[in-house]
A and B are shown apart, each in its own frame.
Chain A
Amino acid sequence: DQQVKQNSPSLSVQEGRISILNCDYTNSMFDYFLWYKKYPAEGPTFLISISSIKDKNEDGRFTVFLNKSAKHLSLHIVPSQPGDSAVYFCAASASNDYKLSFGAGTTVTVRA
């Protein structure tokens, strides 16, 4: 049973607009969350992370929001650029556990 869920398989957004990717989790032991980005024929690369002691983390155009009570996190990309077109994976881990549990991924397409 998947403990991390990304319910939107795909997202299409116009260049310059905001992309919002959502992720839900079920395991209350998860306390560290990451987003990975994957281009075709490449491995996933780390994008941004957030610890459960925070509710927001920003890095340039990327912001991750965490709502612990709802067991929900989201990734905002503002403004979206064509190079952001990729698959985005949400991942989570529990304290002192190196294992990452991944969602199924969301394919983002940024239209010019």
Chain B
Amino acid sequence: EAQVTQNPRYLITVTGKKLTVTCSQNMNHEYMSWYRQDPGLGLRQIYYSMNVEVTDKGDVPEGYKVSRKEKRNFPLILESPSPNQTSLYFCASKSAGTAKKNIQYFGAGTRLSVL
């Protein structure tokens, strides 16, 4: 089954304790992206990757890092989490090709609380 898998689904942590949210897709997609969803703001892009070893900032990259060492994996790293990073996070992927058909496939989400 084609899917984007995020882990963990729920995470409660404390300020300053480094954490990683994993994302894996089995569709051989070149493009992967991280979003955060906050009330009243919709989904905002954090980072994206066009392919292995190619990453770039989205709209709200501050406080986050990513890496793309393998095509299927795109982990999101919070080196020193702060309470304003409490949010619902989504990983997404799509096949490179015609950008017009810009349909992205999303994971089930990771709800993060930073105390």
Write the residues of chain A forming the contact surface with B, with a CB cutoff of 8 angstroms: 2, 4, 6, 9, 31-32, 34, 36, 41-46, 49, 51, 89, 91, 93, 95-100, 102-105
Contact = CB atoms under 8 A, between A and B. Distances in A.
Contacts of A9: 40
A31 B101 CA distance: 11
Nearest to B58: A99
Nearest to B96: A98
B45 A99 contact: yes
Contact of B106 (A45, A95, A97): A45
Contact of B107 (A31, A43, A104): A43
Contacts of B50: 98
Query: Interface residues of B toward A: which range?
Result: 20 to 34
B43 A43 contact: no
A104 B108 contact: no
Given A41-B108, A98-B94, A93 B102 contact: yes
A104 B40 contact: yes
Contact of B42 (A31, A46, A103): A103
Contacts of B44: 102
